[in-house]
Structure 1
Amino acid sequence: MGWDNPPLPWREFERRLSWGKGQDRAAGPGTDQGPSGRGTAGRAQPRSLRPVTRLPAARQPPWAELHCHSSYSFLDGASGPDELVAEAVARGLTALAITDHDGMYAIPQFAQAAARLRGSGHELGTVFGAELGLGRPAARAGIPDPAGRHLLVLARDVEGYRRLCRVISAAQLAGGEKGRAVYDEAALAEAHGGHWVILTGCRKGAVPAALAAGGREGRPAAARELSALAGMFGAQNVKVELTIQDHPADDERNDALTELAAAAGLATIATSNVHYAAPPDARLAQALAAIRARSSLEEMDGWLAASGGGYIRSGEEMASRLRRYPGALERTVELARDCSFDFHVIAPKLPDFPVPGGGTEESWLRCLVAQKATGRYGPPGAERVPGAHAQIARELDVIADLDFPGYFLIVHDIVRFCEEAGILCQGRGSAANSAVCYALGITSVDPVQHGLLFERFLSAGRDGPPDIDLDIEHRRREEVIQYVYRRYGRGNAAQVANVISYRPRMALRDAGRALGHQPGELDQWARQVGPRQYGPGQLIPPDAGVPEPVTELAGRMQRLPRHLGIHSGGMVICDRPVGEVCPVEWATAPGRTVLQWDKDDCA
């Protein structure tokens, strides 16, 4: 998309106004943009998730999109993962990659959306990757064109995904602050192990950037950068990316990249460098770019792409645009097929609980429960609540059959720490239905005496571990968090994120700022926004005096992710470095690391 566009030299501006030598004037199928590049695709229009109806298969050559930013590129993508998946299926794509900036924020939602449609008979391969920001001196916010260059990485397989998560985690932590990743290029070259595919990327990629420098040194410099990539990652793992965005300079740039690829003996593939699902979302994407740069659309005008071409295209559209690059379409589809895999195979397990005396987790859990149940209910021969010990035995059998003894031991260990430290801690929710939880002191309600049903908490048909929520007094919660880090290792534990999405007041302020309104106006409008709705989908009072373009843009921004926060108490503990499952980054709070996934995405 237009984010990170450079200043436009006058001679280039003049050339593009003239439409450039050898450029195709036709807008092509699937777009309403003429030579100006600013047709109705740029207008902000309300858009809901489109019904998934494939275009006629007979007219659709296979196609896959391998460079795609979701709304989890945080103000550099205008469509959620579910929208992108739905559009990809509707356009007949065989596979889709999500390649957000420096993270895997969208991956669970992306995988879930594809799985839901797969269950409805719509097959879409899922490819997982990221666009890494190299050589960036500071966080990107507030800068129209941040320094540094991009490296687009696709995971070939599960091992490639783990390695990519690992290097993103290392870079995020090396940055020393929230929002800044610092990559060690030597470590990247060592980390791939043949499990990644490297694309030369957008204009911020090293090869296109060198080429765009122009003059006599443009092509030689680009050739050197391409040779360096092949040397770092292996020629068989580097693909030269041809970007199709209906931009006047597309053919000139792609012709040069094709010649460079041929000279280096490398293959070309194609992408649309997607930043939104469909053409009507282009204006929203531009507004988000302005918000990220803390500027108005007018101030950003020279930095924003005029073509509005960063959307998902069908195979028919791409076949038309790639006629002059034989084989690029087919190679893209083949690469996507080779890199597709199901996300569920990545799921981690809990760490082994350190059992004293060398026993098993099951034997230790049974021993602990037997000891503590006597205190709660009395000995088996003289129990104070009839049937209590029999109920505990049944629950322990279910827990053992489902392989959850370690889960209960970990929760009990946290409760034990709180008790010994004098920290108020109380289990709640459906865990109150468990006599085992009551015996261990996790909950304080006797489920046997009150006739509560254990199966509401845990049963043989349950998918995933039980849900035990612990309420811990907020003033001392940090002590418990740091205990978990010490007990299981900072590498194997992290707090889960809280994705901060746009709400009416925040959306109104940012939309108004992007459209050039003054702070005083924004304050006045924001004061009139409350929690209630004023009509179907209407969150701003109709008599608030807010201009329609502002309310329309603010409405489209609702629920888009704006930035990553931290959940007040949710933590993940893994049997392996958690950064191999989901990248970890610094939270704003000192000493805390946070996963890039929301709590609900970690379930």
Structure 2
Amino acid sequence: MTAPPYPPGFTHLHVHSHFSLLGATASPAELAQQASADGLTSLALTDRDALYGAVVFDRACRAAGIRPILGMTVGVAPLSELDAGDGLGAGLLVLLATGPVGYRSLCRLSSAIQAHPDRVERSTRGLDWDTLKAHRDGLICLSGGRRGWIERHLRADNRGAAVRHAGLLAGLYDQQTWLALEVHRPEDQTIAAEIAAIGQRFGIPAVAVQPVYTLARQDRTRLKLLAAIDQNCHLDETPRRVLADGGDAAIDLHWLKPDEVAARFVATPEALQAAADIAAACQPAIPDGRPIWPALKLKPGNTPDTALAEAATAGLQRRFGQDPGAAPQARLQRELTAIAHHGFSPLFLLVADVVRYARENSIPVSTRGSVANSLVAYCIEITTVDPLEHDLLFERFLNPARRNPPDIDLDFCSRRRDRVLAYVRDTYGEEHVALVATISTMRPKSAVRATA
């Protein structure tokens, strides 16, 4: 059997999914399936400026037998006034998490990017280097290839600026820096050799990279269409800076099979090996799915289970009187046992605390969904509906066969919800609080309307 022309462990390290909103076409599941079909053992996801697809990608890779590598592509500002002058906006870096610490750094960088008030300036100017320095722990940095500052300066015949950027990266990420080489046509070998030479000056190795924005070559036209939708302009008016290829039709943006990539790096096999080495250094970054609860303020000697039982028992007497009767007490005990068995007592205590704060501060709040079926939720005043009076089944909310945490949906007055969020952050710590986006997808009719 002939050995493949690429090293074991080689994989794609610069990959975009459709979670690079209006910037790529493939779903995380499609990418994972393609990696499996090509015999890869790992795969990176490096969507632009955000981690929207991280969890979906992680699950899709695990299901396909692929080890997920989580990363992000970010734009960075030029050094001082050293803009390449090519009109392509911020220079790109590809950042890969080596584990949970790196993933936290990516989250902080993404938050800094998304918090920028001006979307256009954010994409054209990019992150400042101080922000990168503040959140670099646990990250591997790839220089960004053709859209990175180093290669762009070389193509603008400004080797001095390219060297300065390489030196800055070397100082920022130390031994975790690689210079990305892209080879799309024969003449790119010259630039690749120059980049590798600059890297040797600073002890930075080179790595072979093929940016992936689509799975198939024919999807290239869809990329330009998505960019035009994003810019709300005609196809022929789309700015070069928002096009993944910078307006150069010779640049490949689709998935290449490993042997196709290897064929482009015959002269630099060490760059292929570097991709395998980087992949090996990146370990799973997302926890295994078990809930991680923030610290609760409990009375000495109490656990979440005993604290919830005390609060629910006291609430049962408030709701039903000093002698609630055998049926309510039996129902309450059954629910408490099920909640404790699943490890969800902290969830009930947290939600009850948030609801209490809202009501004490006259902030309108209501619940939705099957949590109304829970007597425990009624007794600790999360809900206001008596499930016994309305003959509501607790098992619709939580049953022994359920693996995932139950949903307790709260609706707050939109004008005052920021006050509730501030309370949650102040009480439980910013490290334990997140805002979660809902990503909407389009059916064909809506997609045609957006295109038109």
TM-score by length of 1: 0.65
- Give the alignment partner of residue 255 of structure 2, picking from 287, 292, 312: 312
Measured in 1, the distance between the counterparts of 2:293 and 2:37 equals 39
Contact 1:158 1:346 in 2 (8 A): no
Measured in 1, the distance between the counterparts of 2:392 and 2:73 equals 51
Runs (5+) with no aligned partner, structure 2: 79-85, 241-245
Measured in 2, the distance between the counterparts of 1:422 and 1:265 equals 61
Change (3 A) 1:133 1:387: same
Measured in 2, the distance between the counterparts of 1:475 and 1:269 equals 50
Aligned partner of 1:66 in structure 2 is 13
Ranked by relative contact order (alpha carbons within 8 Å, sequence separation 6 or more), the top structure is 1
Written as runs of structure 1 = structure 2, the 5 A alignment for 1:398-477 is 398-448=338-388, 452-472=392-412
What CA deviation, in whole Å up to 9, does each residue of 1:325-383 have, x standing for no partner? 1222222122212214263348662322323567443333222212110122333xx43
Measured in 1, the distance between the counterparts of 2:271 and 2:35 equals 19
Contact 1:282 1:308 in 2 (8 A): no
SS of residue in 1 equivalent to 2:14: coil
Measured in 1, the distance between the counterparts of 2:186 and 2:223 equals 20
Aligned partner of 2:324 in structure 1 is 383
Aligned partner of 2:296 in structure 1 is 353
Measured in 1, the distance between the counterparts of 2:21 and 2:239 equals 20
Measured in 2, the distance between the counterparts of 1:314 and 1:254 equals 20
Written as runs of structure 1 = structure 2, the 5 A alignment for 1:125-524 is 125-135=67-77, 145-173=87-115, 175-177=116-118, 180=122, 183-189=127-133, 191-193=135-137, 195-214=138-157, 218-234=158-174, 236-244=175-183, 246-247=184-185, 249-300=187-238, 303-307=246-250, 309-341=252-284, 343-345=286-288, 349-355=292-298, 359-379=302-322, 382-384=323-325, 386-448=326-388, 452-472=392-412, 480-489=420-429, 492-502=432-442, 507-512=447-452
Change (3 A) 1:267 1:347: farther
Change (3 A) 1:484 1:503: farther
Change (3 A) 1:474 1:95: same
What CA deviation, in whole Å up to 9, does each residue of 1:571-596 have, x standing for no partner? xxxxxxxxxxxxxxxxxxxxxxxxxx
Aligned partner of 1:517 in structure 2 is none
Measured in 1, the distance between the counterparts of 2:419 and 2:2 equals 59
Measured in 1, the distance between the counterparts of 2:100 and 2:361 equals 41
Measured in 2, the distance between the counterparts of 1:439 and 1:475 equals 28
Return the offset for 1:471: 4.3
Runs (5+) with no aligned partner, structure 1: 1-55, 118-122, 137-143, 513-603
Contact 1:127 1:340 in 2 (8 A): yes
Measured in 2, the distance between the counterparts of 1:459 and 1:295 equals 52
Equivalent residue letter for 2:216: A
Change (3 A) 1:269 1:473: closer
Return the offset for 1:414: 2.7
Contact 1:270 1:332 in 2 (8 A): yes
SS of residue in 1 equivalent to 2:15: coil
Question: Is 1:78 paired with 2:25?
Answer: yes
Measured in 2, the distance between the counterparts of 1:330 and 1:461 equals 46
Change (3 A) 1:407 1:487: same
Equivalent residue letter for 2:408: I
Aligned partner of 1:592 in structure 2 is none
Equivalent residue letter for 1:205: G
What CA deviation, in whole Å up to 9, does each residue of 1:83-128 have, x standing for no partner? 22222222222221111222212111111211222xxxxx212111
Q: How many residues align?
A: 436
SS of residue in 2 equivalent to 1:197: strand
Equivalent residue letter for 1:430: S
Measured in 2, the distance between the counterparts of 1:164 and 1:347 equals 21
Written as runs of structure 1 = structure 2, the 5 A alignment for 1:559-598 is none
Contact 1:127 1:341 in 2 (8 A): yes
Measured in 1, the distance between the counterparts of 2:290 and 2:111 equals 17
Measured in 2, the distance between the counterparts of 1:220 and 1:425 equals 60
Equivalent residue letter for 1:93: L
Equivalent residue letter for 2:182: T
Return the offset for 1:266: 2.7
Question: Is 1:95 paired with 2:42?
Answer: yes
Equivalent residue letter for 2:56: Q
Change (3 A) 1:278 1:272: same
What CA deviation, in whole Å up to 9, does each residue of 1:166-218 have, x standing for no partner? 23324543x3456738634235335434x22111113231211221111xxx3
Change (3 A) 1:508 1:160: same
Change (3 A) 1:419 1:228: closer
Change (3 A) 1:155 1:301: closer
Contact 2:17 2:45 in 1 (8 A): yes
Return the offset for 1:480: 4.2
Equivalent residue letter for 1:409: L
SS of residue in 2 equivalent to 1:443: coil
SS of residue in 1 equivalent to 2:260: helix
Contact 1:98 1:127 in 2 (8 A): yes
Identity within the alignment, %: 33
Measured in 2, the distance between the counterparts of 1:377 and 1:323 equals 79
Contact 1:156 1:338 in 2 (8 A): yes
What CA deviation, in whole Å up to 9, does each residue of 1:504-531 have, x standing for no partner? 566335434xxxxxxxxxxxxxxxxxxx
Return the offset for 1:445: 4.0
Contact 1:198 1:239 in 2 (8 A): yes
Aligned partner of 2:62 in structure 1 is 115
Change (3 A) 1:432 1:186: closer
Measured in 2, the distance between the counterparts of 1:494 and 1:332 equals 33
Change (3 A) 1:300 1:370: closer
Measured in 2, the distance between the counterparts of 1:428 and 1:342 equals 33
Measured in 2, the distance between the counterparts of 1:414 and 1:225 equals 48
Measured in 2, the distance between the counterparts of 1:83 and 1:500 equals 18
Contact 1:129 1:155 in 2 (8 A): yes
Aligned partner of 2:82 in structure 1 is none
